[in-house]
Homo-oligomer: A and B are copies of this chain.
Amino acid sequence: MNKGLLIVVSAPSGCGKGTILGEVLKEDNFYYSVSATTRCPREGEVNGVNYHFISKEEFQERIDSNGMLEYAEYCGNYYGTPRKEVEQMRLEGKDVILEIEVKGAMKVRTLCPDAIFVFIAPPSVKELERRLRKRGTETDDVIAKRVSEAANELTYAPKYDYLIVNGALEKAVDDFKTVIKAEKLKACYATEILDEVINNA
């Protein structure tokens, strides 16, 4: 059996990344890697679903024992990707999805040269702003900040392997699945298949 893929996904907030991944994860073959954090759970957040909530001591131990694939400190708390879980799932043949922001993704790029990097973009920054306004849940200041962050994150897109523009959900989901399907046809993963071609009766 071939090892599963490691797929790193980044997207500015408001691009519909969650919705796209929700559709993709309906297929059995995918495994969504849950991050670990030292911050306290917010209301409604479930341990092991939204995050693995662990203590600062435990997080530090994991860092020291090389147990985090990548991690970052943000507002006094750690956030990171547990390495063991990712590797175990890949060995079981599952395609593991890591949802991380651009800087974390670039770290994984260096650490896991076989990972696939997918950037999800809004159809336009203006459209992203319209979507955020339409929600009506954020102040003008917060929207302005989000839009400016999105514009900054978009400068990282050319460093990814694939760019998916989420103009229409169905097409974006289809594009995502196309990328995975094509990656599985990569000749560099095909050692076993070639063995079969050469030796099977």
Could you list which residues of chain A lie within 8 angstroms of chain B, going by C-beta atoms? 117, 119, 121-127, 151, 154, 157-165, 175, 178-179, 181-183, 185-188, 190-191, 193-194, 196-201
Contacts and interface: CB of A to CB of B under 8 A. Distances in A.
Given A122-B197, A154-B194, A200-B124, A162 B181 contact: no
A194 B157 contact: yes
Given A163-B190, A178-B178, A193-B163, A154 B185 contact: no
A124 B125 CA distance: 50
B201 A187 contact: no
Q: What's the dominant secondary structure at chain A's contact region? A: helix
A190 B158 contact: yes
Contact of A185 (B179, B200, B201): B179
A171 to B, nearest CB: 11
Nearest to A186: B162
B175 A161 contact: no
Given A181-B182, A197-B165, A158 B191 contact: yes
A183 B185 contact: no
B124 A196 contact: yes
Given A124-B200, A200-B123, A201-B126, A185 B175 contact: yes
Nearest to A161: B187
